């Protein structure tokens, strides 16, 4: 494709050739948001921003993803904007018709509430999953204003419904104040481990990845990325921004080190374009979707998913990439 050209589909892909093995499905729903609304317009903005990508070859993962897997943008899912329960049922029914043991789903939200029906659909095929959750917030609270199914309660409901493998799930990028210290104790009781955003400074990318890999083990993995895991400097267009988040580069390095062969589904949510500037948030989300697609396709032998080794005794100077 050429930049700015092609059809209005994700990455500008212009047709289906061969059996479909992956689907990108926008879910324009934000009825579960608790602060700034507008994530229902996220899918259209992410789709538009994806026209800037050059998806033929991913040099960091050494893969031409669309030569290995056939991916289709399946279009927006109609969602009831007045009823959370009805919208979740609509998303569940639609996802159930797409997910199979050979067909993985990457969903573009929408607010984080959409993850609950997606996990239900994935569970019917793969059973309980290990959740790798990139977010500024835990999303394991009980209710918001008396509502039990919202973007801040979604993973508590998932735990209660038995959708998660016990003690294999992990939050990454958590930061900001909480409603109560008990929130952390409750979250731990639901089987989550927490890597706070500041832990990246102490552990480094490889240290964080080691913790994620150890936590999920050999379980099937569902990846959920709330774009507010990024600092507002890199993703202002979101509903509940929190200071002190990851940079775009840090997030991409972490994602590229995940076990792609274990991924059974993913979502990228909470892009609210009304608060964005120059499409930086939408482009970040579109890039994440592309990177997850490339990860599912399988990194090649020259993938740069870890820092190159520094020879013993080497002084300061530019890093020479490996051959």
| CA separation, residue 144 to residues 80, 140, 179 (Å) | 20, 11, 12
Q: What is the pTM of this model?
A: 0.85
Q: Which of 238, 213, 215, 214 is nearest to 288 (CA)?
A: 238
Please name every residue paired with 234 in a beta bridge, in sequence order, or none if there are none.
none
Hey, what CATH class is 23-297 in?
alpha beta
CA dihedral 129→227→41→30, nearest 10 degrees, is 60
Ranges of the chain with pLDDT below 50: 1-8, 12-23, 25-27, 309-323
pLDDT score at 36: 67
| CA separation, residue 73 to residues 11, 261, 280 (Å) | 9, 21, 21
Q: Which of 302, 194, 305 is nearest to 259 (CA)?
A: 305
Residue with tokens 């990139």: 134
pLDDT score at 25: 46
Domain boundaries, the chain: 23-297
pLDDT score at 280: 96
pLDDT score at 199: 98
pLDDT score at 34: 53
pLDDT score at 157: 96
pLDDT score at 28: 54
Q: Which of 76, 74, 72, 82 is nearest to 28 (CA)?
A: 76
**Cα 222 to Cα 192: distance, rounded to the nearest angstrom:** 14
């Amino acid at each position: 494709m050429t930049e700015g050209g092609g059809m209005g589909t994700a990455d500008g892909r212009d047709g289906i050739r061969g059996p479909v093995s992956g689907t990108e499905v926008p879910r324009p729903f934000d009825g579960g948001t608790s602060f700034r609304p507008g994530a229902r317009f996220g899918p259209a903005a992410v789709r538009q921003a994806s026209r800037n990508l050059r998806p033929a070859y991913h040099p960091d993962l050494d893969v031409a993803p669309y030569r290995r897997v056939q991916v289709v943008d399946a279009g927006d899912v109609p969602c009831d904007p007045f009823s959370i329960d009805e919208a979740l049922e609509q998303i569940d029914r639609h996802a159930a018709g797409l997910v199979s043991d050979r067909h993985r789903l990457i969903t573009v939200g929408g607010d984080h509430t959409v993850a609950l029906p997606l996990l239900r659909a994935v569970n019917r095929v793969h059973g309980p999953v290990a959740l790798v959750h990139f977010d500024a917030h835990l999303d394991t609270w009980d209710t918001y204003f008396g509502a039990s199914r919202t973007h801040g309660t979604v993973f508590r409901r998932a735990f209660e419904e038995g959708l998660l493998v016990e003690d294999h799930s992990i939050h990454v990028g958590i930061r900001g104040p909480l409603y109560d210290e008990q929130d952390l104790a409750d979250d731990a009781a639901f089987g989550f481990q927490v890597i706070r955003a500041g832990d990246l400074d102490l552990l480094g990318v490889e240290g964080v990845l080691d913790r994620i890999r150890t936590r999920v083990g050999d379980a099937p993995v569902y990846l959920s990325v709330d774009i507010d895991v990024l600092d507002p400097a890199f993703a202002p267009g979101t509903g509940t921004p929190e200071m002190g988040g990851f940079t775009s580069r840090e997030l991409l390095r972490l994602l590229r080190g995940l076990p792609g062969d274990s991924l059974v589904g993913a979502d990228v949510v909470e892009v609210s374009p009304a608060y964005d500037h120059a499409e930086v948030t939408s482009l970040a989300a579109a890039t994440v979707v592309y990177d997850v697609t490339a990860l599912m396709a399988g990194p090649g032998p020259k993938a740069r998913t870890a820092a190159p080794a520094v020879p013993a005794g080497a002084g300061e100077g530019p890093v020479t990439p490996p051959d």
